[in-house]
Every structure is written in structure tokens, then in C-alpha cells.
Copies of this chain bind each other. A is one copy, B any other.
Amino acid sequence: MNEDQDRLFVTALARGLDVLAAYQAGDRALGNTELAQRCGLPKSTVSRLTYTLCKLGYLSQDESGKYRPAPAVLTLGFAALSGLDLRERAREPMRRLSKETGLSVTLGVRQGTRVVYVETCRALTRVGIRLEVGSTVPLATTAIGRALYMALAPAEQQEVACLLADEYGARWPEVAARLQVAQTTYGETGFCASYGEFEPDIHAVAVPIAGSAPAMAINCSGPAYRLTPARWAEEIAPQVVKLAAQLAV
């Protein structure tokens, strides 16, 4: 990218979206000062941005005058989801698998070095982090992230690896080694696994869905106490592999 291209970048838009993106899971209403700190912008700039976002309906103010995301933000995401044909096709089979196994079944897409869940069927007895449409998990240390990584072309894997190296810093060699192991295993078994690596008490296996655009992967996860890794590989993984094959485009 040369300098001319930076002239096309609309900074005001980026800043406004940074304000929206400053909200994290569990946040309630935030004030302008907190938002200014999170975004690294001057208070007056943030004040103008929140004013604009309120007028547009993407933020609303509570009684104390603080801001929280308004439901209109959800409608942006809805449009994103409703364009995903594969998600619609996958929904019922995923629900079925979740019911049969008693595990959580999720569908995810890569976004940079993260996975964004686009569909979730959660087991009734939930353990672990919130599995929810729109929530994200790391790419490198989760089964679903690894599956998405495997589906990348080598050049893209290289690119992503660079981003990950930046992110993990000194810990990257270790993470990379495990990613390499996963690649070998994927080549032999057709699935990726994460046994307690991301969350100590959670096992998961995942498989990319061939031919999907944007590339997606399907994941099955549950509590570690239920099944040993060997049983996961024998009993659960084949079902996920089969489901991914059914969903292949």
C-alpha cells in the first residue's frame, strides 16, 4: 500500500466504528471519558462521535447520560448473517448433532486472528465460555480456529502466521509448534482438536467445510470430564467430519 491509498481511508468513519467496537462483552453503559481512553481519542472528538452515533440510532443514552449500544447494531449483524447460505443449511444438522451428543456445536468464520461464531447450538448443560453468535475466540489455540487455518491456502497461512507471530511475541514459537502438530494431525485424521488447550476443562474437535465461501468450520465442544481425548477422536470427531462433508459446497 502506497501513500496515495491512505488518502482513500476515511479516518472519521474508522474512529466512529472504533467507538462502537470499544464495547466489550459484559460492558454496560460507558461514558465519553472511558470511551476516549479506550479509543485513544480526545474527549471532544468522542463526544461528537457519540452524538452522531446516537442520532443514527446505534448508541442510546441511559438515565445517567452514559452510552450503550442500541439494538440497531444488531440489525447490521443480521444482514451479515442472512447472506450466509451455508449457515442456514447447517442449522438443523448442527442442532441434531448437539442433541445426540449432548455437546455444543458451533459454526465459525475467520476474522483476522480470531474466529467469529456465526451459529451456535449449545448443550443444555453448558460449561465454559459463552458460545454466542458474534463472540470470538483465538484462531491458533482453538480447534475451530485451527480448522479454519488448515483451510487456508499456503500463502494465506503465511500471512496469518505473521499476524499471529506479532500477536504472541515470545510465545509464538510454542504456539506455532502446536499449530504445526495440528497440521500434521489434520493431514492424518481429517480433523483438528484442542484438548484443554484453550480452556482447561473443555475438549473440542473441528473440521473445515470444503468449498465454503467465506470459509467456515464446524466445531463440537464439551466438558473434559465426559470423554477422554481418545474417545473424542473415536466417537465425536467422525460425526463432525461426516457433517462437514455433508455441508461441503
| Given A9-B55, A52-B8, A26-B74 contact (CB < 8 Å) | no
Residues of B within 8 A of A116 (CB): 71-72, 74-75
Smallest Cβ distance from A156 to chain B, in angstroms? 13
In the complex, what residue of chain B is closest to A130 when comparing beta carbons? B82
A111 and B25 contact, Cβ closer than 8 Å, known pairs A10-B12, A71-B118, A76-B76? no
Distance in angstroms from A58 CB to nearest chain B CB is: 7
Rounded to whole Å, the gap between the CB of A107 and the closest CB of chain B is 11
| Option from B5, B9, B77, B135 in Cβ contact (under 8 Å) with A73 | B77
Q: Could you tell me if B10 and A52 are in contact, using CB atoms closer than 8 angstroms? A: yes
Tell me if A213 counts as interface (CB < 8 A to partner B): yes
How far does the alpha carbon of A194 sit from the alpha carbon of B191 in the complex, in Å? 48
The 8 Å CB contact of A68, one of B10, B27, B83, B112, is: B83
Find the B residue at minimum CB distance from A5.
B51
When each residue 57-90 of chain A gets 1 if its CB lies under 8 Å from chain B and 0 otherwise, what string results? 1101011000011111111111111110000000
Tell whether A136 is near chain B: CB-to-CB under 8 Å. yes
Q: How far is the CB of A24 from chain B (nearest CB, A)?
A: 6
Q: How many residues of A contact B (CB 8 A)?
A: 63
Given contacts A9-B52, A13-B49, contact A25 B79 (CB under 8 A): yes
**Bound CA–CA A61/B82 (angstroms):** 17
Residues of B near A136 (CB, < 8 A) are 75, 78
CB distance from A240 to the nearest CB of B (A): 21
Q: Are B134 and A77 in contact (CB-based, < 8 A)?
A: yes
A106 to chain B, nearest CB (A): 13
Counting from the closest, the 7 A-B pairs by CB-CB distance are A78-B134, A13-B16, A69-B80, A71-B116, A77-B77, A23-B79, A74-B134
Measured CB to CB, the residues of A under 8 A from B are: 5, 8-10, 12-17, 20-21, 23-29, 47-49, 51-53, 55-58, 60, 62-63, 68-83, 109-112, 116-118, 130, 132-136, 213-214
